Amino acid sequence: MKLSRSFFIEGLKKEISDIYALFADEPIQIIELTDKIIEKAKAEGFQEKETHIVTKDIDWSFLSSQNENFDLFGSKKILEVKLIGSGPGNKGSKALKEYCLNPDPNKLLIVTAEGLEKKQQGSAWSKALEERGTLVIEPAINKLSMSKWIEDKAASMNLKIDKQALHLLCDKNEGNLNGAIQELMKLSLLFQNQEISIHDMEKSISDGSKFGIFDLSNVFLEGDKKKTMKIIESLRAEGVQPPLLLWALSKEIYNLFKVVEEGNTKNIWGPRYYLELLSKRANDLPRVKIKTGLKDIAEIDASIKGLSDKSPWQSIRDLAMKF
């Protein structure tokens, strides 16, 4: 079934589906929805997560093999399938449709798609996921919806922000969701159990950190390892949490992967200098290093969600140093 975000959240409080499809333009939107599913899944006894990032040469047997010799008493595992900018291809479409006909009772399948074309959203594989499981398509963030998004995010963090302060935060971060989240995280440390006025917001923004998430993205893409580590440690000292840093690094690695797979930056938004830098780095880096980075992202994500014993901070440092 196809659900709006609000109905999806309400439904998840009651029961968990065995198949989810999550489509959005912004990675942070997908991350938020996925986190809610995984939180519920952990309460239902799912303690393992296996992530598959879809590439042109991916082996889809991980889906078909799950359907052989069901073990009703086997371990419960989350299967996460990530589509980045394009559909699953003919083999993937067939594998997903077949899985929907006979899903493994011990598995929870989460298919996420970032920046998926509308044509793909209405394709046969997408409809199969919708009919057998739950489909959520997040609308694109615009100026109006960003205000509501930030307001809801603030409420989830127990932050009380007056209307003028909220408008200021939206104006300063128009179109920049991760910048808005970073500011909200800082506010949550400074203002506990009190309403945040426009004067508080002005001061918080003017006292912004020496380094921000965008600084991390830029120097990481430039390949400046020394400065990348300096920014990571600065953000950690300021109270920025691992999910936001992982989001920043993974966004650049996903974009590098898109360039390598498609041979151009046509489907990537950004200013000219950014796209030129992205192309240069994609050409300079070995393809295997980018693909390994994608696997590392999945492992770090699992550690952040408590599905691995590895330290998220050390893993983030290690990931940054590989590039």
Burial 68-99 (b: 16+ CB within 10 A, else e): eeeeeeeebbbbbbbbbbbbbbeebbbbbbeb
Angle of helix 242-262 relative to helix 27-43, nearest 10 degrees, comes to 120
State the Cα–Cα distance between residues 174 and 154, nearest whole angstrom.
Answer: 16
Q: What is the pLDDT of residues 82-141, one digit of tens each?
A: 998 788 999 999 999 999 999 998 999 999 998 888 888 889 999 999 999 999 999 888
Give residue-wise pLDDT tens across range 32-88. Answer: 899 999 999 999 999 888 889 888 888 999 997 544 555 555 678 999 999 987 889
Written as one letter, the residue type at 240 is V
pTM score above 0.85: no
Pick the closest to residue 322 from 286, 272, 280, 298 (CA basis).
Answer: 286
pLDDT at residue 208 greater than cutoff 70: no
Q: Is 127 helix (H, G, I), strand (E, B) or coil?
A: helix
Please report the domains of the chain, with CATH numbers, ordered by start residue.
Answer: 2-137 (3.40.50.300), 143-206 (1.10.8.60), 213-321 (1.20.272.10)
Position 234 scores a pLDDT of: 84
Name the residue with higher pLDDT: 206 or 76.
76
Q: Determine the pLDDT at residue 269.
A: 75
Structure tokens at 68: 């052989």
CA distance 194 to 19: 40
Q: Are 257 and 84 in contact (CB under 8 A)?
A: yes
SS3 (DSSP) at 48:
strand
Question: To the nearest whole percent, how much of the chain has pLDDT over 70?
Answer: 95
Backbone angles phi, psi at 237, to 5 degrees: -65, -30
> For the chain, first and last CA: distance in Å?
41
- Exposed, middle or buried by CB within 10 Å (0-12, 13-18, 19+), for 158? exposed
Residue 1 in contact with residue 91, Cβ under 8 Å?
no
More confident residue, 321 or 191: 321
Contact between 94 and 65 (Cβ < 8 Å)? no
Gyration radius of the chain's alpha carbons:
20
Q: Could you say which DSSP state residue 73 is in?
A: T
